[in-house]
Each structure stands twice: as C-alpha cells, then as structure tokens.
Chain A
Amino acid sequence: MRPLDWVVLSGTLAFIVLYGLYKGRGSNTISKYLLAGKTMPWYAMALSIMATQASAITFISTTGQGYVDGMRFVQFYFGLPIAMIVISSTSVRLFHRANVYTAYEYLEKRFDAKTRTLASIVFLMQRGLSVGVSLYAPAIVLSVILGWPDRLTTLGMGVLITIYTVTGGIKAVTWTDVQQMLIIFAGLFVAFFMIIHLLPPGISFTDAVYLAGAIGKLKAVDAKFDLANRYNLWSGLIGGTFLALSYFGCDQSQVQRYLTGKSIAQSKLSLLFTAMAKIPMQFFILFVGAMVFVFFIFVRPPLLFQPIAMRDLESSQVQPRYAPISAQFDRAFDERREAALGLVDARRAHDGGRRAQWLGQYRQAQARINQARAEGAGVVQQIHGEKEFNDTNYIFLSFVTRYLPAGVVGLVIAVIFAAAMSSSSGEVNSLATVTVIDIYRRHIRQDAPDRHYLWASRVSTAFWAAYAVFFAQYAKNLGSLVEAVNVVGSLFYGTLLGVFVLAFAFRRVTGTAAFIGMLAGESAILATALFTRITFLWFNVIGCAVVIVTGLLISWLRPVRQPVAA
C-alpha cells in the first residue's frame, strides 16, 4: 500500500460512514428505524439487495474461482430470476399488506406464535453464524496479503458499521449499500481494464479471450444432469431457484430490504432489477478471474498465492525440498507460455493442425504446473499438519497488490471493505429487527411505547455488531469456517422456504401442521447431509418438499373446522 492507496482507502471509508450518518437522519420512530418509514425507491432497494448478497468473500472467491475453475459458477445464479418472479408475484404483496416488520411476523398472522418463534430462532441461528464470517473472512485475506493484524481489520470494520447502523437504522444501511455497490462496480471495471492493459505486447484482448476459451476457462454452461456435480445447468435452474427463493423470500436480511419500499410496485421493481443484473454481474466477475489467469500465463505467478505459505517454502529449513519443485514450476511455466504464444499464432494463421499440437503441449505444461503446485501445497500441509490447502481466495488480491498502480490498489481494497461492510450491516440490522420484533416485543414486553422499541432496536443493533466482531475474532479457531457456514446455511433455508410455501399456497394448513412440518423438514435435511453424497444446493429442495408434504398430510389427518362466515 502506497500513500495514494491510503488516501483512496481512507477517503472512501470516511465517505461511506459520513454518507450513512447523513442519510440516516430522522430515524426517530421504530417504523423509520426498521423500515425507513416505507419511503425507499426501487433503485436504492435493488442495489441494497445486491450489496447485502455480495459479501467480500464472495467477491474475492468468485474471481479466484474464475481463475481456477473457469466460468461454470455462473450457473449457480440461473435460478435467481425465476425466484424473483415468484417472490414478486406472491410474498411482496402479502408482506406489504400484512404490514409486518419481519417475514416471521407474517407467520403468526397466518399460523400461530410457535411457528413464528421457531422460524425466528432458525433465522437467528443461521444468520448469527454467518455474520461473524462476513467480517472475518475478508479480514484474514487482507491480513495475509497486506500484513495487517486481522483483529484490527475486523474491529475497524465493526466500528464503522456500528456508527452508521446504530445511528441511522435501515435508511443508513440502504443508502450506504447503494454507495458501496457503486464502489464495487467501479473497482471491478478499473481492475478489468488494468488487466487488459497489462497483457504483454503482442497479446490483444481478442487473443486473451481466445486463449481463455481454448484452455477451458470460458465453459459457462454444462447441460449434463448430475446430482453430484455442484454447478450445472439443472442444479442452477432447480436448486438455484429454491436457494434464491429461500434467501430472498424467507431471509429477513433480504426481506427487510424490500419491505422498505414506498409501494408494492417499487419493491417488485427492485427485485426484478436484481433478477436482471445479477447474472451479468457474476459473469463479469468470473470473466475478470479468467483474464487474471491469462495474465499469469505470460507473467510468472508465485508457486502458491498465499504469502505465508510461500515464506514457509522459501525458509532455509524447507529450501532443499522447495528448490526442485520451484525449478520444475519454472520450466513448466516457460513451456506453457511458449505453447500459449504458439496457440495465438496458430489462430492468426487459421492453422487447425498447429493449434491442436500447441494445445496438447499447453495441457502437458499445465499438468506439470498443477503437479508442482500440489507438491508445494503438500509441503506446506506437512509443515502445519493440515489436511487441506487452498489459496483460491488469495489469487485476485495477490494480482492486485503486485501489479496494479498506486490508487487502484487502494480502490480495490476499498471494494473489499465495502462488500464486507454492506453485507455485515444488512445482517446486523436484520438480526436486530428479528430480536426486537419477534422475540422481545412478542414474548418479553408487549405494550411499551414506540420510543422504548426504538431504543431496544439501537441496543440490539449494537449488540449484534459487537457479537459479529467478537465472533470474527475467534473464527480462525474453528477450522474451515466459511465452508462450514455455507453448509450450515443450506441446512436451514429449505425449512424456512417450506413453511412460507405452506403459508402462501395452502389455505387449509394449520399452525400445528406447519410447525411439525418444519421439524420434519429439518430432520430430513440433516439426514440428507449426514448420510448421502447429495450436494448442498439440493438440501433446499428436499427440506422444502418434506415441510410441504408433512404439513399437508397432518392437516389432512387432523382437519380443523373452518369458521362459519357471518
């Protein structure tokens, strides 16, 4: 980080906080604090929805995923527009007309208090686990890349979030999300153009795209149906739809964004805009990752992108084992670069025979590079006694800090901070809302004045922000936490989705049937996770189906007499 980077980073963060404080003025009633008085325009809600979903680790990981695995991750989002249509045509209208603060409050109006409370607790558990990781995951990457203490980074982000979230409530969160999303877009575009600019002389953008395609980095769609393959067209369309339905339709961190809309139409527009913008955005982020890969075909990358792992390998004790691996890597890198240049020449000459020959050589060289990286990772694993090593999250930031000019590095680091802060502030805000509305006001103190609940909401927001920072401080002791939290999240979403489908679509289902259905759905998901090899995207489908079938079955076995109309 050079002085200009510090100026850009600190200026951006200061602007976000001050803007949040400015826009959050006047949040002096519970309705204004938790729902912005239902005054938000569609574009602010749309960008807030996207910012809340795009956590920093998603941003860092997605570019790394584009580098390692190509574009196929984009299929994960194919179900999102379908889900947004379903939500727009059902729950948006129902939530608005029920005049609720939370999605779970609706469940009591439709079913009973125990169903609402169970759904609230499921949300608090699931979102409570992920809120710390939203802060911790980027902090650990930044600390390794930049040498900053991770405790300081999490504490810094936590304090900044607390300032504007406690003061201005959801209005501050939404408007800062808008700024943060614009910063993320700006950072991405600048990084992309810098990558293209930094390609070696003689390699055009067209050559780079051709190379990325030829070596298999641009495979965006896999139409083969396979339950064990995490990302294909069908898992994206079916599993992705259910996941997006669960997240955008039942998770308070998203529902609360569109409950702030000044009208039902504005809320619908915000969701449909997100539906149309999300896939191109993810496609672009993955494409940036693929272009970083092409850049590193011509510029020697480190054997491993994790700087601490490289320091370990280069230390004097390990040097004798590292030297031959490094030499093999260097030779393979030279051969791969030569093959890539040969591929580009063959394309220009329209020579299919030479193209096939160079592609074969490229693949052999790439296999030797992969082998050298695996051997290097094996040495690091032996040093630390770890079972796994994965440096995907360090690829993009490693590129940024090594090759981008002063100012742009600060901007990209600001993007990471903005993404972490936008998702964390939304999560903290929604956790506080459910705590106050669904637990405190429902079960502890029911008839206090508005000012009391406003005060309780501020305290609850501060509590959840402090909890997020505290949890983030100790997250590193919990092993592969990001993966664990992803799995834990998918363990709960199907159940929440199932109970909302029962609420919206089946008139005769009773509260007790919905409650038992939730318990059955949760058991089915746990059994699937523990005893089968089915990937997590399908958990939502299974959990949702079991909740619906159980709820309908119990309602059929124990019918309740309809009240006679007067």
Chain B
Amino acid sequence: MINSTFMPTHRAEMPDEPPPILGSWSRIYVLVLVYLALLIALSYGFTRYFS
C-alpha cells in the first residue's frame, strides 16, 4: 500500500517561513554553494601558492 500522505507534496500545519535574510531559501542555498566554491578555490589557491 502506498502511503501518499507522507510524500513530499504533503501539506501540513507547520509553516515553512522564509529565512531572516535574502528573502527566499533558494537564494540562501545559492549563497552556500557560492561560499563552498569560494572555499574550494581558496584552498586550491592556497595549495598552489605555498607549494
């Protein structure tokens, strides 16, 4: 039996409020990805510079 009540489309009482900054969660996720890319680039630059 498929319990579709608990599939991702399920809507319940608990609201998913917007984040305190940037207006939407999608923008926050992009920010985290950009931050990760920056950290990797910095780590790569760090490796190249000091070796």
Residues of B within 8 A of A219 (CB): 47, 51
Query: Given that A81-B32, A508-B2 are contacting pairs, would A97 and B14 also be in contact in the complex, using a CB cutoff of 8 Å?
Result: yes
Query: Given that A276-B35, A560-B2 are contacting pairs, would A218 and B47 also be in contact in the complex, using a CB cutoff of 8 Å?
Result: yes
6 shortest interchain CB distances as A-B pairs: A213-B50, A97-B12, A220-B43, A218-B50, A110-B6, A81-B36
By beta carbon, the residue of chain B nearest A269 is B19
Q: How far is the CA of A508 from the CA of B46 in the complex (A)?
A: 48
* A82–B8 CB distance below 8 A: no
Query: Given that A74-B43, A268-B25, A560-B1 are contacting pairs, would A507 and B17 also be in contact in the complex, using a CB cutoff of 8 Å?
Result: no
Contact with A along B11-23 (1 / 0, CB 8 A): 1111111111000
Interface status of A280 (Cβ within 8 A of chain B): yes
Known: A78-B40, A82-B33, A505-B8. 19 other contacts (CB 8 A): A81-B35, A82-B36, A88-B25, A94-B10, A97-B12, A97-B13, A110-B3, A112-B1, A218-B46, A218-B47, A220-B43, A263-B14, A264-B14, A276-B35, A280-B39, A507-B4, A507-B7, A562-B4, A563-B1
By beta carbon, the residue of chain A nearest B9 is A507
Q: How far is the CA of A508 from the CA of B49 in the complex (A)?
A: 52
* A275–B32 CB distance below 8 A: yes
* A220–B36 CB distance below 8 A: no
Q: How large is the interface on A (under 10, 10 to 19, 20 to 34, 35 or more residues)?
A: 35 or more
B38 nearest CB across to chain A (Å)? 10
Mark A residues whose CB is within 8 Å of B. Answer: 71, 74, 78, 81-82, 84-85, 88-90, 93-94, 96-99, 106, 109-112, 209-210, 212-214, 216, 218-221, 223, 233, 263-265, 268-269, 272, 275-276, 279-280, 283, 503-505, 507-508, 510-511, 560, 562-563
* Among candidates A213, A264, A279, A560, residue contacting B39 with C-beta atoms closer than 8 Å: A279
Q: How many A-B residue pairs have CB under 8 A?
A: 110
Residues of B within 8 A of A276 (CB): 32, 35
B17 nearest CB across to chain A (Å)? 4
Residues of A within 8 A of B32 (CB): 81, 84-85, 272, 275-276
* B4–A88 CB distance below 8 A: no
The A interface is mostly helix, strand or loop, or mixed, namely: helix
* B51–A510 CB distance below 8 A: no
* B19–A98 CB distance below 8 A: no
Number of interface residues of B (CB under 8 A): 35
Residues of B within 8 A of A98 (CB): 6, 12
Query: Given that A85-B29, A89-B29 are contacting pairs, would A562 and B2 also be in contact in the complex, using a CB cutoff of 8 Å?
Result: yes
A-B contact pairs, 5 of them (CB 8 A): A81-B35, A97-B11, A265-B16, A265-B20, A279-B39
* B40–A507 CB distance below 8 A: no
Residues of B within 8 A of A84 (CB): 32
B9 nearest CB across to chain A (Å)? 8
* Among candidates B14, B29, B50, residue contacting A96 with C-beta atoms closer than 8 Å: B14
* B43–A221 CB distance below 8 A: yes
* Among candidates A82, A90, A209, residue contacting B50 with C-beta atoms closer than 8 Å: A209
Residues of B within 8 A of A511 (CB): 1
Residues of A within 8 A of B12 (CB): 97-99
* A283–B36 CB distance below 8 A: no
Residues of B within 8 A of A220 (CB): 43-44, 46-47
Q: How far is the CA of A454 from the CA of B11 in the complex (A)?
A: 30
Q: How far is the CA of A112 from the CA of B8 in the complex (A)?
A: 17
Query: Given that A88-B25, A265-B18, A272-B32 are contacting pairs, would A233 and B51 also be in contact in the complex, using a CB cutoff of 8 Å?
Result: no
By beta carbon, the residue of chain B nearest A264 is B16
By beta carbon, the residue of chain B nearest A100 is B6
By beta carbon, the residue of chain B nearest A218 is B50
B22 nearest CB across to chain A (Å)? 11
* B7–A110 CB distance below 8 A: yes
